[in-house]
Structure 1
Amino acid sequence: MTRIKEKERETMVTLILNGKSAQLPAVRQAVNACREAGAELEVKVTWEAGDAARMAEQAGRDGVGRVIVGGGDGSINEAVNGLMRLPAERRPGLGLLPLGSANDLASALGLALEPLAALKAALSLPLHAVDVPRLDDQYFLNMATGGFGAEITSSTPKSLKRLLGGGAYSLIGALKAWQYRPYPARLCWAEGQREASLFVLALGNGTRSGGGQHLTPEARIDDGLLDVLILRDFASLRDMAAMRRELQRRPREGTFVEAFRTAWLSVEAHGDLPLTLDGEPCHRRAFRVEVTPGALSLALPDDCPLLSAPVTGQPATAAAS
């Protein structure tokens, strides 16, 4: 009898819904439709910060086979941190129901954004092992940004995000473009080191952040590496134009732009550096980021553009960290 119950639990799916999205008619209709089609779907709704992490961790301890997160990139980030508290063999597969203002990760992964299609996909897509970077003691799945870009993301009012979607970031950025200050820092990684006056620092496991900005377009979510973008400080409109031209070319080392891949990166800033982890703000004076390869199993199509190679055969499972 115990074995039967354990097997039944493995087929259960827990949907963790951001409380602000739980009453959306399209979401409720999607849940009802999937249940009517036979999905064993348990719904939990967050009330306050920390709930998604706690619920995701508990689902793993209960032996749930798959956790789906319904919310924005911040909700996904919180749930990922909960799952990473578990031993690798206890982590459920993760599916995404994008309900945020930007949905940068889901969009880059090529996932559906309409609730019913997204929920069906999260329930049925095969699981692929993906990397999870860690900044000190905090995990992220999509991207960490520092400097001016992080300042924009963290200072954009949530009401404006809901009203304008990803366009809110562009609006706030335009308002602040000539009020920013550079962030001097020392960067070290496996293959080198650099002193830089940072305008933007991006550490990509995914490709886009800040409402659709393609900061690390060559990143792959399963290659064991961070894609790093450094944009250095500029002093004039002419410099800014030159930086934008370099950004199109993505040189390994240019006057204003530098791009490379590495398994880890450490940063020592001269003052507090504004950061975002999957859009969630924080500040650090010094930190280290490193990648845990294959730490989670994510529900993805086999032709997902962020997988390093087309996958055939059996779906992957999360590797031990």
Structure 2
Amino acid sequence: MTTSHSAQHPAFDRRVEKAALAQEIKESRRAVLVVNTRSRRGARAYSEAKRRLIEAGIILDASYPVRHSERLPEIVREEIAKGRKFIIVGGGDGTISSVVDHFAYVSVVLGVLPLGTANSFARTLGIPLDLPGAIDILVSGKVFDVDLGKINDGYFANGSSIGMPAVIGRATPHALKKWLGRGAYLLVGASKFMRYGPFRCIITINGEETSFDALDVRIANGGYQGGVLVAPDANPDDGQIVVHILTEPSKWALGKEWARVALRAPFRAADIEVLKAPELVIDTVPKQDVAVDGEVITKTPIRVSVGREALIVMVPPAFVERVDPGSEGTSQGTMT
């Protein structure tokens, strides 16, 4: 993994790096477009996104409609190696997670086009989910650095889960997600729910071990998972990972919890144990699948940590004002 000046030298001022990138992008008006055309909206949106970006004054050095998602990390890695400074990635949360390792601690700005099913990372950053709105942020947003979560040696952008969401993530066919969107998760979840049961969750922070009987574990760098706000206390700019553990013994509590989240009902701390730390270890009995942004990547045990200010990304000005009050951020300025 290529490492930036700020990762090599902690004293290096991250603001200088962001300002230099913002200025270079503003002056050159150059970018690379990489779109996962297997994502729900990607196939329809690629041509329109390319046209709108060019009309907005962005010069595309390269553009890739990627049908086979396994090619995405390779393309991003190659473009970074060419010295590109602004790479726009279109797709869903799985697409972002598949490439985010290559953006961690490099002097390259990620632009997000939310074209997936849930678009949780875009929601966390306040990026509009419609194509014109998202492109407006790419053209006139602000360059800002946010934390990445890290599981073992791999980074994740937004959220991870252990329990029912991971079960659903493994069982939901891509074709079903493409045709039904978020409804695909509900359909598969209903079929898996009756056979689902609690597990033992052991969490270690600073050498101190705590265990719970858990139905669901959410690991959050940002507030959204599955397109729903599940961790309003998670902030991708505070150096902390938030863990929510649903501890009620009945699996029907899981259904009630997700219904409450979907209806945006008040948070009930009695139902959920909340832990916050920059680093922790999670194990379970029996072993459980671990899903990152909807894609199962490993099994427990896992080491979870924060990649502080690891990702430089184009965000709406309102996001900067919300997570970093008093900061003016780094304005890219209009490219037209």
Q: Could you tell me the TM-score, scaled by structure 2's length?
A: 0.80
Residue by residue over 1:207-239, the C-alpha shift from the partner in whole angstroms, topping out at 9 and shown as x without a partner, is 1212x2322122111111111100125237589
Residues 244 and 274 of structure 2 are in contact (CA less than 8 Å); yes or no, is this contact kept in structure 1?
A: yes
Corresponding position of 2:239? 224
Secondary structure of the residue that 1:108 maps to in structure 2?
helix
C-alpha separation in 2, matches of 1:44 and 1:242: 40
Residues 142 and 204 of structure 1 are in contact (CA less than 8 Å); yes or no, is this contact kept in structure 2?
A: yes
Residues 268 and 287 of structure 1 are in contact (CA less than 8 Å); yes or no, is this contact kept in structure 2?
A: yes
Aligned residue pairs total 303
Aligned with residue 44 of structure 1, among 64, 71, 84: 64
Corresponding position of 1:71? 91
Residues 148 and 307 of structure 2 are in contact (CA less than 8 Å); yes or no, is this contact kept in structure 1?
A: yes
Change (3 A) 1:99 1:242: closer
Give the fraction of aligned pairs with identical amino acids, expressed as a percent: 27
Corresponding position of 2:117? 101
The farther-off stretch of 25-34 and 223-232 is: 25-34
Residue by residue over 1:265-306, the C-alpha shift from the partner in whole angstroms, topping out at 9 and shown as x without a partner, is 201222321111111113313110100110111111121289
Q: Any residues of structure 2 matched to 1:208-223 within 5 Å, and which? A: 208-210=224-226, 212-223=227-238
The farther-off stretch of 43-52 and 150-159 is: 43-52
C-alpha separation in 1, matches of 2:49 and 2:204: 47
Corresponding position of 2:250? 235
Change (3 A) 1:213 1:116: closer
Corresponding position of 2:299? 284
Q: Could you tell me the TM-score, scaled by structure 1's length?
A: 0.83
C-alpha separation in 1, matches of 2:289 and 2:218: 12
Secondary structure of the residue that 1:102 maps to in structure 2?
coil
C-alpha separation in 2, matches of 1:289 and 1:147: 16
C-alpha separation in 1, matches of 2:313 and 2:110: 5
Residues 165 and 294 of structure 2 are in contact (CA less than 8 Å); yes or no, is this contact kept in structure 1?
A: no
Residue by residue over 1:84-132, the C-alpha shift from the partner in whole angstroms, topping out at 9 and shown as x without a partner, is 3xxx3x4311110011112122123221222233223224311111001
Corresponding position of 1:299? 314
Corresponding position of 1:4? none
Aligned with residue 31 of structure 1, among 42, 45, 50: 50
Corresponding position of 1:133? 149
5+ residue gaps, structure 1, are 1-6
C-alpha separation in 2, matches of 1:113 and 1:146: 27
C-alpha separation in 2, matches of 1:24 and 1:72: 12
Q: What amino acid sits opposite 1:195 in the alignment?
A: S
Corresponding position of 2:78? 58
Corresponding position of 1:153? 169
Change (3 A) 1:55 1:191: same
C-alpha separation in 2, matches of 1:99 and 1:40: 21
Secondary structure of the residue that 2:50 maps to in structure 1?
helix
Secondary structure of the residue that 2:296 maps to in structure 1?
strand
Residues 10 and 64 of structure 1 are in contact (CA less than 8 Å); yes or no, is this contact kept in structure 2?
A: no
Q: CA RMSD in A?
A: 3.0
Query: Are 1:112 and 2:128 an aligned pair?
Result: yes
Residues 35 and 42 of structure 2 are in contact (CA less than 8 Å); yes or no, is this contact kept in structure 1?
A: no
C-alpha separation in 2, matches of 1:185 and 1:312: 39
Residues 219 and 306 of structure 1 are in contact (CA less than 8 Å); yes or no, is this contact kept in structure 2?
A: no
Corresponding position of 2:14? none
Residues 303 and 311 of structure 1 are in contact (CA less than 8 Å); yes or no, is this contact kept in structure 2?
A: no
C-alpha separation in 2, matches of 1:24 and 1:193: 47
Residues 250 and 259 of structure 1 are in contact (CA less than 8 Å); yes or no, is this contact kept in structure 2?
A: no
Residues 56 and 139 of structure 2 are in contact (CA less than 8 Å); yes or no, is this contact kept in structure 1?
A: no
Secondary structure of the residue that 1:220 maps to in structure 2?
coil
Change (3 A) 1:32 1:50: same
Residue by residue over 1:225-260, the C-alpha shift from the partner in whole angstroms, topping out at 9 and shown as x without a partner, is 111100125237589769988994342xx3x41113
C-alpha separation in 1, matches of 2:303 and 2:173: 28
Residue by residue over 1:163-186, the C-alpha shift from the partner in whole angstroms, topping out at 9 and shown as x without a partner, is 222222223223322210322231
Query: Are 1:272 and 2:292 an aligned pair?
Result: no
How far did residue 47 of structure 1 move? Answer: 4.3
How far did residue 58 of structure 1 move? Answer: 2.4
Query: Are 1:166 and 2:185 an aligned pair?
Result: no
5+ residue gaps, structure 2, are 1-23
C-alpha separation in 2, matches of 1:291 and 1:18: 27
Greater than 4 Å deviation, 4+ residue runs: 7-11, 236-247
C-alpha separation in 2, matches of 1:68 and 1:112: 15
